[in-house]
Amino acid sequence: MSDDTRSELYAELAAVGPYGTHPGHALITMVEPHPGHEYAYNRWYEDDHYYAGAMAMPWMCAGRRWVATRDLQLLRYPEKSAIAQPVTTGCYLSTYWITAGRYDDHMRWTVSINKRLNRDGRVYHDRTHVLTAFQDHEATVYRDGAAGPRDQHALDHPYAGLVLQVVEADTPAQRAELLEWLRSRHLPKRLAGSPAAMVTVFRPTPLPGDRMTYVKQVEGVDTRLTLLWFLQADPRECWEDRFTGLDAVVAESGLGRVELVAPFVPTLPGTDTYVDRLR
């Protein structure tokens, strides 16, 4: 292995381009380890891939892993989901923030490093990517206004749970209307008095043509929105009151449909906690 890291280039790169704290982009990836590979997959991701394949990369400024035990998987809906078939598929979710304005820079690095990791035998192939997409930030709606935490803190703050919601419009124009309805009407009303402190809204972007072949191209680039609800309570404690019926509310708006509502709790980094409760 060469010791040449071209470190002289780092000083040049650090002096140019955006370097704010706003999460302008995200990587949201929901994965299903193949049966019998749950422990090995979790150890690979916790010990190696979370760092070498994500957090060590330039402009990836925050990350968090989440898990859906079997009881959480069974809360998901709708039963016929365009995202997961069956809807219980995808027991691990990883979420990462990328600095605004640095998407292209990050993508160049991530494609190259994942090719290198694959070549070096550091990619775990006994898994299925259920939903993996880089996304652009569209909006964040807060329950408590300026009281915080802000969205840049969301993956570091000790939230007790997260709900992943995917909604889809029929056309790109309708998606713009759906986004405005979510941002100005639906989400503020739904957040009020709830255990959810904020909702971040993203729209998916196409994966590059030279992506790894085991990750399928993103669907719904022009019509989908991805919502992350950050909860201060275990989702099981508030599911019936706060998260059932979101599909009916969106349908009543006439602006789109819900393709997935899925609750998660945070993993305990460095451990196999919850791995024995996935099936």
Q: For residue 206, what pLDDT is reported?
A: 85
- Enumerate the β-bridge partners of residue 66: 93, 266
Identify the sign of the CA torsion 134, 192, 261, 223: negative
Which two three-digit tokens encode residue 118?
Answer: 């694959």
Q: What does the domain layout of the chain look like in residue ranges? A: 20-266
- The per-residue DSSP string of the chain comes to ------THHHHHHHTSS---S-EEEEEEEEEEEPTT-HHHHHHHIIIIIHIIIIITSTTEEEEEEEE--HHHHTT-B-SS-SS-SSTT---EEEEEEEETT-HHHHHHHHHHHHHHHHHTT----SEEEEEEEEEEEEEEEESSGGGS--GGGTTTS--SEEEEEEEE-SSHHHHHHHHHHIIIIIHHHHHTTSSEEEEEEEEE-PPPTTS-TTSPPPS-TTTEEEEEEEESS-HHHHIIIIITTHHHHHHHHTS-EEEEEEEEEE--TTS-TTGGG--
The length of the chain in residues reads 279
Q: For residue 192, what pLDDT is reported?
A: 96
At residue 29's C-alpha, the angle toward residues 27 and 30, to 5°, is: 160
Question: Measured between alpha carbons, how far is 34 from 267 in angstroms, rounded to an integer?
Answer: 19
CA 262 to centroid of chain Cα atoms: 12
**pTM assigned to the model:** 0.95
CB 148 within 8 A of CB 248: no
Q: For residue 218, what pLDDT is reported?
A: 76
Selected from 3.30.70.100, 3.30.420.140, 3.30.2130.10, 3.40.190.10, the CATH number assigned to the domain covering 20-266 reads 3.30.70.100
Q: For residue 214, what pLDDT is reported?
A: 56
Hey, what amino acid is at 24? G
CA 181 to centroid of chain Cα atoms: 22
Mean pLDDT per 10-residue section of the chain, whose length is 279 residues? 82 93 97 98 98 97 98 98 96 98 95 94 96 96 92 98 98 97 97 97 84 65 96 98 97 97 98 98
Q: For residue 140, what pLDDT is reported?
A: 98
Q: For residue 3, what pLDDT is reported?
A: 76
Q: For residue 148, what pLDDT is reported?
A: 79
CB 227 within 8 A of CB 164: yes
